[in-house]
Structures are given as structure tokens and as C-alpha cells.
Chain A
């Protein structure tokens, strides 16, 4: 069964450093998403991406964040200058079309020290 994959599974970084989280969505899916889950809190939407453009973003997704689809398979989330409060589990998801079921990857646990 096709699945969303994410790398790395864990990342530790120093405050102020840039990090790039990588995702490979399901191959025939056209919509891609990033969510985050701070420990003990709810899963929060960050951004959705379609046709090489951001289609929706939350207020969390400020200028420190960016997304990119650098090739036909990868989808990345970049945090330009990490803050302590960026420590969270980051989930990538994909769906075939708008409003359809979103399938999630296993997540990347980011720890900012």
C-alpha cells in the first residue's frame, strides 16, 4: 500500500539554525500539507500546497517557514531560523484532491536546543 514517508525521523538543532524537513507524498496525490504537534497539544495545520503554490496557510506559518517541491517526488518544509518553540512533531500529508482524505507520514520529531 502506498504511503507517505518522511526524513529524518528525529532532528536536533541549535536555536537560530536552519532545518529542512523532507517528505515524499503518495505518488499520484496532488495536494500536500504540513502539520505540527507540540508535545501534549493538538495537531495544528501549517500549510497546504497545490500546483507549485501555497493554497492555504495558518497564522503559525510566518516568514520563517517556507515550502518547496524541488522535484517530482519530494516536498520540503524549511524553517529558516529555528526557535525553541518550534520543537514539535512535524507531519507531512497528501491527498488526491481538495477535500479528500489526507494520508499522513510518520512524522519528524524536531528538538531545538
Chain B
């Protein structure tokens, strides 16, 4: 079945470091891809999305490019801040084939000053 695999955490970085969180997926057809973020004590917030191959989603300095050839959607940020500390979830939805978001296990990011 469809699935999402994320790199294991936690990821610990110093402020202003470069961030990459890897995400790969398995899906039939052409899913839409998402990154959600969960700050401590809060719910899931949409961070960015891409709906077709080669699309780049971006928001708040974060970027991810939909790579169909490598079935990947890696999250990147050039310079992280302490306020970016959170759990990041990669997810997909199968277009025209259901409504369920399928999530990865989540990657915890901890940024220190």
C-alpha cells in the first residue's frame, strides 16, 4: 500500500544551521505531497505542499521539491531558528483515489541557540 518514510530523529542543530529532513514515498498514481509541522502542545499545521512533479512548495523559509524520479519530497531550510523546534511530518494524499492523508512517523527537530 501507499506509505511515507521519513528520516529518523531527533535532529539537533545549532541556530543558523542548514536543515534537511528526508522524505520518500510509495504510491500508485500521482499523489499530492505535504509537510505538516506540530509545535509543542499544538495541533498539526500545514507548512507547505506540492501537487505535481517538479513543483516546489515553500513557506517561512522552508522548501521542498516534488521529485517523481526519486519519489522524494525532502524538506530544507537554509538557516534554522530556535522557533523552528517542532515535529515535522511528511504526508501524501492519493489524488482521485481517496481522501485519507498518509503520514510518515515524524521527525523531531531541536534547535539550540
Which residues does A use to contact B, with CB under 8 Å?
Answer: 31, 33, 35, 41-45, 48, 50, 55-56, 58, 91, 93, 95, 98-99, 101-107
Give the docked Cα–Cα distance between A29 and B82 (Å): 34
Give the docked Cα–Cα distance between A45 and B94 (Å): 13
Give the docked Cα–Cα distance between A11 and B66 (Å): 39
| Known pairs A42-B104, A42-B105, A42-B106; A103 contacts B99 (CB<8 A) | no
Name 17 extra pairs, CB < 8 A, besides A41-B105, A58-B100, A95-B99. A33-B101, A35-B101, A42-B89, A43-B103, A44-B103, A45-B100, A45-B101, A45-B102, A50-B99, A56-B100, A93-B44, A99-B93, A99-B95, A99-B96, A105-B43, A106-B42, A106-B43
A56 & B103 in contact (Cβ 8 Å cutoff): no
- Interface assignment of B14: CB less than 8 Å from any CB of chain A: no
Partner of A101, one of B46, B95, B102: B46
Give the docked Cα–Cα distance between A33 and B43 (Å): 14
17 contacts between A and B (CB under 8 A): A41-B105, A42-B103, A43-B44, A43-B103, A45-B100, A48-B100, A55-B99, A56-B99, A56-B100, A58-B100, A91-B43, A93-B101, A95-B99, A99-B96, A102-B101, A104-B44, A107-B43
> Using Cβ atoms and an 8 Å threshold, which residues of chain B touch A106?
42-43
Minimum CB–CB distance from B48 to chain A (whole Å) comes to 10
0 or 1 for each of B32-49: is its CB under 8 Å from A? (1 = yes): 101010000011111001
Closest to A44 in B: B103
